[in-house]
Amino acid sequence: MLTGESLSLKLENIRSALNRQEETLIFALIERAQFRLNASIYDPKAFRLESLSFLDYLLLETEKVHARVRRYTSPDELPFFPLTSLPDPILPEAVYPKSIVPNQVNLNEDIKQAYLESIVPELCLPGDDGHFGSSALGDVSVLQILSKRIHYGKFVAEAKFLRHRDKFVVLIRRGDRERILDAITDAKVEEQVLDRIQAKAAAYGRNESNPGAPQLIDPLLVRKVYEKIVIPLTKQVQLLYLLDRLKHE
Amino acid sequence: MLTGESLSLKLENIRSALNRQEETLIFALIERAQFRLNASIYDPKAFRLESLSFLDYLLLETEKVHARVRRYTSPDELPFFPLTSLPDPILPEAVYPKSIVPNQVNLNEDIKQAYLESIVPELCLPGDDGHFGSSALGDVSVLQILSKRIHYGKFVAEAKFLRHRDKFVVLIRRGDRERILDAITDAKVEEQVLDRIQAKAAAYGRNESNPGAPQLIDPLLVRKVYEKIVIPLTKQVQLLYLLDRLKHE
C-alpha cells in the first residue's frame, strides 16, 4: 500500500501536477497580457507606498494575508518576501504527508527579476492604460504560479534521489555540480515540454470572441518563459536541493 | 472628437469589455474546478477566523488590501464587504473619465449567494482534498470577476438611457419596472450570449494535456452561470440603476 509519502513522490503524480500548473500559468499570463506595460507599477518612486513599488506593495500585502492562512507552511509554497516580514499563521499548521526534506532553497528573487526583465516587456503592449491595480494583480498571479512550478523541482529532485540514491550520494559528496546537473537533465524531455507548452498556449490563447483579432498570447513567448526561466531555474532548484540533501541522511 | 466620457459609454467599447470578461470568468472557474468542494471553507465555525468562514476571511482581507490601493474608487469595482469595514485608500484617488452617474447599486450579496448555492456544488467534485487556501482563492477570483461583469450593467444602462432618453424618462417617472425590464431585454441577444459563452467554455476547457481525460470544465455549467446568475442579475443592476437615474438629470 502506498503511504502519503510515497504517493506525493510518485513521479506520475508529480508530472500530473506540473502538467496542470502549465494551464494555470498560461491563464495567468493571458490575464496580464490584456493590460499595457504600465511601467510605473514597477517604480518604487512612482507611488507613495512605504518606499515600495505598486507591485511590491501589493505582493507584500497579499503575502501577509496568505501567510495568516498558513500558505507558507505548505512545502510547495514560498513567499517572495522574507518570512520575518510576514505575520505568523492564525490557523493551526496543517499536516502534510512527509515528502521533501526541510530546506532553505528559495529562488523567488531570481524568478521575479527574470519575469520582470525578460517577460513583461514582451508580454504587454508598451505604454499606460491606467489599469495599475489589475496589472499588478496579474503580475502577482503569474509570480505565484511561476514560483510554485519552479520550486516543485524539489519534489522532482527528491524522487530522483530516492530512485538512484547511491549514484547521487557519490556526486553530492564530491560536490560535483556538473555531474549532478547532467544526472537531472534530459534534453529530449525538455524539448517535449517546450513543444507541449507552446501547443497549449496556441490552444488556450485562441481569440474565441474574435477569431480575426490577434491571439490572446504569443505561443512563442510562453515557450520562451519555459526555456529561459522555468526549465533552467527548476534545474537550479533541484541542484541546490540535492547539494544539501545528505544532511538528512 | 470623442471625449473620455463618450468613449467609455460607446456600446462597442462596453461590448468588447464584456466579451473579454467572459474569458476571465471561464479561466477563473476552470481554476476553482480543479479542487474539490472543500465545504469547510464555507462554514463560519470550521476555522477560528474571527467568526468568519475561511472564504469570507480571505475575501475580507483581500478587499482590505485592494481598498488601500483604491480598487473601490473605480466605478466598475464593488466590494463584497461594506466600505465601512475597509480601510481608506492610501493612494490619491485616480481620475476616471465621467461615465455612469454616482449610485449605490451593489448586488454582491446576491451574486455570492447564487454562486455558492447553485454553482460551486456543480463546479467542484464533492469531498475534501485539503487545498483550502487554493479553493478559497479560486472563489475570490470568480466572485470578483462575476461582480465586475454584472455591475458593468450600469454602463450598459447608462448607454441605453442616453440613447433613448425620452422613452426612459417616462418609464422611470412612472416607476414602471416591467416596461423598463422589457426595454433593456433582448431575448435574441441573450440567446447569442449563452451560445457564445458555451462555445468559449468548450474551447478553453479542452484538456490539452490529456485529450482522453475529462474537459477542464463543463460548458453547460458555464452556460448556466450566465443563464441563472450573470444575465438576470445584470438586468437587475440595469433596472436599479435606471430607477434612480433621474436624480442626476
List the single residue in B30, B47, B71 with the smallest CB-CB distance to A133: B71
- pLDDT confidence of residue B2: 40
Q: Given a cut of 80, is residue B6 above it in pLDDT?
A: no
State yes or no: pLDDT of B208 exceeds 90.
Answer: no
Provide the β-strand partners of residue B49: B52
B5 band by pLDDT with thresholds 50, 70 and 90: low
CA dist list (Å): A225 to A222, A233, B88, B159: 5, 11, 37, 41
Q: A49: which strand partners? A: A52
Please say whether the beta carbons of B222 and B29 come within 8 A: yes
DSSP-derived secondary structure letter, A205: T
What is the C-alpha to C-alpha distance for residues A229 and A123, in angstroms, rounded to an integer? 14
Residues of B in Cβ contact (< 8 Å) with A54? 69
Q: Where are the beta strands (DSSP E) in chain A?
A: none
Q: Which three cell numbers stand for residue A37?
A: 506595460
How many A/B residue pairs have CB atoms within 8 Å?
84
Q: Is B41 exposed, middle or buried (0-12, 13-18, 19+ CB in 10 A)?
A: buried
Q: Does B68 touch chain A (CB under 8 A)?
A: yes
Residues B207, B30: contact at Cβ < 8 Å? no
Three-class DSSP labels, chain B: CCCHHHHHCCHHHHHHHHHHHHHHHHHHHHHHHCCCCCHHHHCCCCCCECCECHHHHHHHHHHHHHHHCCHHHCCCCCCCCCHHHCCCCCCCCCCCCCCCCCCCCCCHHHHHHHHHHHHHHHHCCCCCCCCHHHHHHHHHHHHHHHHHHHHCHHHHHHHHHHHCHHHHHHHHHHCCHHHHHHHCCCHHHHHHHHHHHHHHHHHHCCCCCCCCCCCCCCHHHHHHHHHHHHHHHHHHHHHHHHHCHHHHC
pLDDT at B158: 95
Amino acid at A131: H
User: What's the half-sphere exposure (Cβ side, CA atoms, 13 Å) at B187?
Assistant: 1
Task: Provide the pLDDT for residue A92.
Answer: 80
- Measure in Å the smallest separation between the Cα of B79 and chain A Cα atoms: 15
pLDDT of residue A3: 46
Spans of chain A below 50 pLDDT = 1-3
- Predicted local confidence at residue A10, as pLDDT: 81
8 A C-beta contact, residue A150 and residue A237: yes
Give pLDDT tens digits for B109-142: 999 999 999 999 999 999 999 999 999 999 999 9
- Indicate the average pLDDT of chain B: 93
For the stretch B10-67, pLDDT in tens is: 888 898 899 999 999 999 999 999 999 999 999 999 988 889 999 999 999 999 999 9
Mean of pLDDT values over B4-9: 60
**In 3D, which of A80, A53, A51, A54 has the Cα closest to residue A67?**
A80
Classify residue A232 by its DSSP letter.
Answer: H
3-state secondary structure of A79: coil
ipTM: 0.91
Q: Which of B203, B97, B197 is nearest to B149 (CA)?
A: B197
Q: Which residues of B touch A62 (CB under 8 A)?
A: 62, 65
pLDDT of residue A65: 96
Contacts of A208 in chain B (CB under 8 A): 23, 199-200, 203-204
DSSP A82: -
Percent of chain B with pLDDT over 90: 82
B48 with A91: Cβ contact below 8 A: yes
Q: What is the pLDDT of residue B98?
A: 79
CB of B58 within 8 Å of a chain A CB? The answer is: yes
Closest CA to A68 of B61, B174, B208, B166: B61
Looking at CA atoms only, how far is residue B175 from chain A in angstroms?
37
Number of neighbouring beta carbons within 10 Å of residue A153 = 27
pTM of the model: 0.93
Least confidently predicted of A7-11, A169-173, B86-90, B211-215: A7-11
Q: Alpha-carbon dihedral of residues A22, A237, A245, A1, nearest 10 degrees?
A: 0
Look up residue A130 and give its three cell numbers.
491606467
| Residue B77 or A4, more confident | B77
Interface test with B, best of A38, A69, A90, A193 (most B CBs within 10 A): A69
Question: Distance between CA atoms of A205 and B206, rounded to whole angstroms?
Answer: 12
From the candidates B208, B217, B222, which should be mutated to test the interface with A, based on the most A CB atoms within 10 A? B208
Restricting to B residues 144-183, those with a Cβ less than 8 Å away from any Cβ of A are none
* Per-residue pLDDT, B93: 78
Residues in chain B: 249
Nearest to A61 among B19, B65, B94 (CB): B65
CA nearest B22 in A: which residue? A209
Contact A70 B30 (CB under 8 A): no
